[in-house]
Amino acid sequence: MIKERVLSGVQASGKLHIGNFVGALRNWVKLQDKYDCYYFVADWHALTTGYADPSTIKEFTKDILINFLATGLDPNKCTMFIQSRVLEHAELDLLLSMITPLGWLERVPTYKEKQQELKDRDLSTYGFLGYPLLQTADIIIYRAKYVPVGIDQVPHLEISREIARRFNYLYKEIFPEPEALLTEFPKVVGTDGRKMSKSYDNAIYLSDKPEEVEEKILTMVTDPARIKKTDVGNPELSPVYQLHKIFSSREELARVAVGCRTAGIGCIECKKILIKNVFKVMEPIWAKRNDIVNSPDVLHEIIEKGTKKAKKVAEETMRLVREAMGLY
């Protein structure tokens, strides 16, 4: 039976944290059993906002690939590759740029939002505006049927669908319009209670050592009402409890909630339970990370093989595209 194709990528603009694991990678691992999955590191995308200092892209690319494998992506079940190694993405991006109205790109909500967010960078570049177009090329070059996204990202996929539709209408029916594979992404808070993000400096990274994870959790923000151990608190106001919801068993979650509300448990004890449960999830990942770091040739081989396979599909699509657009 031919499996339907799924495509997803991670931008090489930082190390992966437990929020990425819980929100994306864990789901990718499940999908590889059911679909023909293509997962890639988007290193060109990292340049759209980080062009002024590309010194970390290579290091982040490697770290992401290590985490792909460490969290359970299996090269025998899915295809893993690096975006910039498949030059056809850039060719398709160029050709699609000929048919994409500027207004479509300017309308993408993240265009203005990100410019506001990253005020210290000059994002009035063509590359930044064209980000959704490159993203579209990444997806449709594999003629992927699905892209795993959370409900809030569905509008972002709409531009890819529009561009694919426009191409099909102008030239030839080559691209399926990519559909959202709706996924529930649990909201993962960082150590300060805001969304976990590398830009907030509040993340627990998959590459952190056990002692770093312990330290980060022990110094996490709690419900401010719990100044002394005898003060009662509201676990819902505590980021520690939000992480318990993801990593702890139902019984422990209930115990912590009651303990917090009745001052029956201290914050340190509560955090130690969380540390134990986070370790339980992280230990196999750390072990695999170690194995991979110690055998770089294996990683290299897997990515070479994945890139070769991705390139073959991309080349085949580009042959059809060139033909449809009347190019030699």
Single out the catalytic residue among 15, 77, 112, 114: 114
Which tokens sit at 115?
């410019």
The reply to whether 270 sits near ligand SF4 by the rule CB under 6 A is: yes
Residue closer to ligand SF4, measured from CB, 36 or 223: 223
Instruction: Identify whether 229 is a catalytic site residue.
Output: no
Phi, psi of 211 (to 5 degrees): -70, -30
Tokens 């290590």, residue located: 66
The reply to whether 226 sits near ligand SF4 by the rule CB under 6 A is: yes
Q: Give the nearest distance from C-beta 21 to ligand SF4 in angstroms.
A: 22
DSSP strands (E only) in the chain: 5-11, 36-42, 78-82, 146-149, 179-182
In the chain, the amino acid numbered 15 is K
Site size for ligand SF4 (CB under 6 A): 14
- The crossing angle, in degrees rounded to 10, of helices 250-262 and 239-247 is 160
**140, 267, 302, 314: residue in contact with ligand SF4 (rule CB under 6 A):** 267
The reply to whether 265 sits near ligand SF4 by the rule CB under 6 A is: yes
DSSP assignment of 238-258 equals -HHHHHHHHHS-HHHHHHHHH
Q: Give the nearest distance from C-beta 238 to ligand SF4 in angstroms.
A: 3
The reply to whether 235 sits near ligand SF4 by the rule CB under 6 A is: yes
Q: Return the SS3 of 119.
A: coil
DSSP assignment of 222-240 equals --TT-SSTTS---GGG-HH
Single out the catalytic residue among 195, 272, 288, 305: 195
Cβ–Cβ < 8 Å for 136, 163: yes
Residue closer to ligand SF4, measured from CB, 122 or 269: 269
Q: Give the nearest distance from C-beta 252 to ligand SF4 in angstroms.
A: 11
Cβ–Cβ < 8 Å for 148, 27: yes
Instruction: Identify whether 119 is a catalytic site residue.
Output: no
Residue closer to ligand SF4, measured from CB, 23 or 239: 239
Instruction: Identify whether 209 is a catalytic site residue.
Output: no
Which tokens sit at 202?
């509040």
The reply to whether 240 sits near ligand SF4 by the rule CB under 6 A is: yes
The reply to whether 243 sits near ligand SF4 by the rule CB under 6 A is: no
Q: Which residues are identified as catalytic? A: 114, 195, 198
Q: Please report, as ranges, the residues that interact with ligand SF4 according to CB under 6 A.
A: 222-223, 226, 233, 235, 238, 240-241, 256, 260, 265, 267, 270-271
